[in-house]
Structure 1
Amino acid sequence: MPDLEEVRMQIARLGTVDAGLGKREIAALPSILWEHETITSAVSGALDNRVGMLVATDRRLIFLDKKMLGGLKVEDFPYQNITSISYELGMMFGTIRIFASGNRAEISMVPKALAQGFAEKVRNRISGGSGAGQTPAPAAASAPQAVVGLKGEAGSGLIDQLERLGALKGQGLLTDEEFTAAKARLLV
C-alpha cells in the first residue's frame, strides 16, 4: 500500500487537481489502495447525498466519503464489472453515472470542467484502451466494444449478458440494429 506522501504525489502528478478534493478522503486513501495500485484521476462529488471523492486507479474506481468523526464509506467498482459510464454537464456541475453488474451509481456535484475528462478516461479504460496517451473513444463507439466483451466474461450467465445488452439499449448506447446483432452473437 502506498503511504500518504506517495498518494499526495500521485494526485499532484495528475495535472488538473480538483480543488474540492477532501483532505480527509486523501488521508484515508493509503488504507484503501491495494499494493502497487496507482491513481490515474480523481474528482470530488456526491454519491447518495454523501460528499466525497471519486478516484480512478489502474485497477478500479473508488468512491470514498470520510466523515469528520471517523466514519468512512467506501464503494469500489472493478473495471471488469463496469458495463458503461456516462456523464451529463449542467451549468456549474456535472453528473457521472457508472453502470456495473446491473447496478447504477450516480455521482453528482462533480466540477463541470472535470466530469467529461474523468468519464472519458474511464470509458477508454473499460473499452480496452490503456488510458494513457490515447484519445478516448467517442461515446457511440464505446457501446459496441462493450457488447463484444460481454460474451467472454467469466462466470456470466446468458441471462445476465442479455440483461446487460438490454440495459445498454435502454441507456441509448445501442441502436436497435446493434442490439439485435449482439443478441444474435450471444445466442449462437
Structure 2
Amino acid sequence: MRDIETIKHEIGEFSKAKEILSYREVEELANILFEDEVIMNITIGGVDGNKGLVVETIERLLFVYYNEIFQVKVLAFSLDDLEYIHLKQQNLHVAMELFFSETKIELTDLPPDDANDIKEELTSQIDYNLSNKKGKFQKKQYGFLKFIVLAGIAVLAGYLAGPHFNVVTVYDQGLSEALTQQEGEKQYQLAFSDFEFDVGEYGSTVRGTITNQSDKVYRYINIDIQYYNRKGAIVESQIETALDLKPGKSWHFESMPISEYAKDFEIAGVYAEEAKTEVDG
C-alpha cells in the first residue's frame, strides 16, 4: 500500500493539482496503487456519466469514482493491452477512446491539455506494444512533454480505416436501492449458493446460484459483483440480471471480470422488483 502523503506530493507536481486534490477519490489511491506504481498523469474526466479521476501510471490506466450510492469504483486496464487511441473534440473538452485488446473505454470531459499529455505518453506505450508483438524488443520509454492545445484536437488520422474491435461495456451502472447480500436474502427470500471464483488459463469467472424461495415472481433481480485485486482494492464491478424468476426456481449465472487484476469478489448489492399481476393493476 502506498503512503497517501507521498501520493499527494506527486499530484502536487501537476498543473491542476489544487482541483484534483479537492476530489475525495484521491484518498482511495493509497489502496488502489501498487507499492511501486508511479503516477505519470492524473486529471479529471468522466465515464458513462460518472465523474472522477483519470490516472495513468507506468503500468495501468485507472478511472476512480464514487457511484450514486457512494461506493468507490475502479476501472483498471493494463497498458500492455493498449492498441489504439482516438480523440474527439467536445466543445471545450475532449473525449478519448482507448482500445485494449478487444475492449473499449471512452473517457469524456477531459481538459484538452491533459488529454494531449496522456495521448503523448500512451502513444509511446502503443509503439512499445507493437514492437514487442513483432519480436523487436526495445526499452520502454516514457516522456514528460507537456503540450497545450488551443482551440481543439484534430481527429486522429486514419481512424476510419483503423482496426475493428469487439466493443464491450465495462461501466458500472450502480444499484440505487440495493441491499446487502444478507439483507437481500431476508427481504426477498433469496438463497445464495454454490458461489465460486475460478481462475482459468484465459481469465477468471464467478459462478453461483440464486434460488427464489418466496411466493413472488420477480420481474428482475440485479446483483452487483465487485472484484478486488490482491491487496483488497476494488478494480471492477459488474451488474448481472435475472428476468422473471418464479417461486422455487433458480438462476445459475456466470460473470467474467475484464480486469486482469481481479483476484477475489463479493456480492456488494442486491435489488429485486416484484412482477405486477392483473389484480395489482
Please indicate the TM-score interval, normalised by the length of the shorter structure. 0.5 to 0.7
Give the Cα–Cα distance (whole angstroms) in 1 for the partners of residues 15 and 41 of structure 2. 9
Superposed displacement of residue 118, structure 1: 1.4
State the partner residue of 2:108.
108
Say whether the 8 Å CA contact 2:11–2:17 is kept in structure 1. no
Say whether the 8 Å CA contact 2:38–2:58 is kept in structure 1. yes
| Cα distance change, pair 12–105 in 1 and its aligned pair in 2 (3 A) | same
Give the Cα–Cα distance (whole angstroms) in 2 for the partners of residues 23 and 49 of structure 1. 17
Say whether the 8 Å CA contact 2:80–2:125 is kept in structure 1. no
The alignment partner of 1:6 has SS state of: helix
User: Which residue of the other structure, out of 141, 144, 149, is the alignment partner of 1:130?
Assistant: 141
Superposed displacement of residue 46, structure 1: 0.7
Superposed displacement of residue 95, structure 1: 0.5
State the partner residue of 1:185.
none
Q: Which runs of 5+ in 1 are unaligned?
A: 144-166, 172-188
State the partner residue of 1:169.
163
Could you say which structure has the higher helix fraction? 1
Superposed displacement of residue 111, structure 1: 1.2
State the partner residue of 2:23.
23
Give the Cα–Cα distance (whole angstroms) in 2 for the partners of residues 31 and 133 of structure 1. 26
Q: When the two structures are aligned, how many residues end up with a matched partner?
A: 145
Give the Cα–Cα distance (whole angstroms) in 1 for the partners of residues 104 and 17 of structure 2. 24
| Cα distance change, pair 99–34 in 1 and its aligned pair in 2 (3 A) | same
Range that drifts further, 53-62 or 65-74: 65-74
Give the Cα–Cα distance (whole angstroms) in 1 for the partners of residues 163 and 6 of structure 2. 41
Paired amino acid for 1:124: S
State the partner residue of 1:65.
65
The alignment partner of 2:163 has SS state of: helix
Could you say which structure has the higher strand fraction? 2
State the partner residue of 2:118.
118
Paired amino acid for 1:90: Q
Superposed displacement of residue 61, structure 1: 0.5
Paired amino acid for 1:169: P
Residues 149-164 of structure 1: matches in 2 within 5 Å? none
Paired amino acid for 2:143: A
RMSD: 3.0
Give the Cα–Cα distance (whole angstroms) in 1 for the partners of residues 39 and 111 of structure 2. 18
The alignment-based identity, stated in percent, is 23
Paired amino acid for 2:61: L
For the pair shown, which has the larger CA radius of gyration, 1 or 2? 2
Paired amino acid for 2:26: I
Matched, 1:83 2:83: yes
| Cα distance change, pair 20–92 in 1 and its aligned pair in 2 (3 A) | farther
State the partner residue of 1:48.
48
State the partner residue of 1:154.
none
State the partner residue of 1:6.
6
| Cα distance change, pair 20–112 in 1 and its aligned pair in 2 (3 A) | farther
State the partner residue of 1:162.
none
Superposed displacement of residue 113, structure 1: 2.6
| Cα distance change, pair 70–82 in 1 and its aligned pair in 2 (3 A) | same
Superposed displacement of residue 74, structure 1: 0.4
Say whether the 8 Å CA contact 2:82–2:99 is kept in structure 1. yes
Give the Cα–Cα distance (whole angstroms) in 1 for the partners of residues 17 and 144 of structure 2. 21
Give the Cα–Cα distance (whole angstroms) in 2 for the partners of residues 135 and 115 of structure 1. 10
Give the Cα–Cα distance (whole angstroms) in 2 for the partners of residues 71 and 81 of structure 1. 27
Give the Cα–Cα distance (whole angstroms) in 2 for the partners of residues 103 and 64 of structure 1. 18
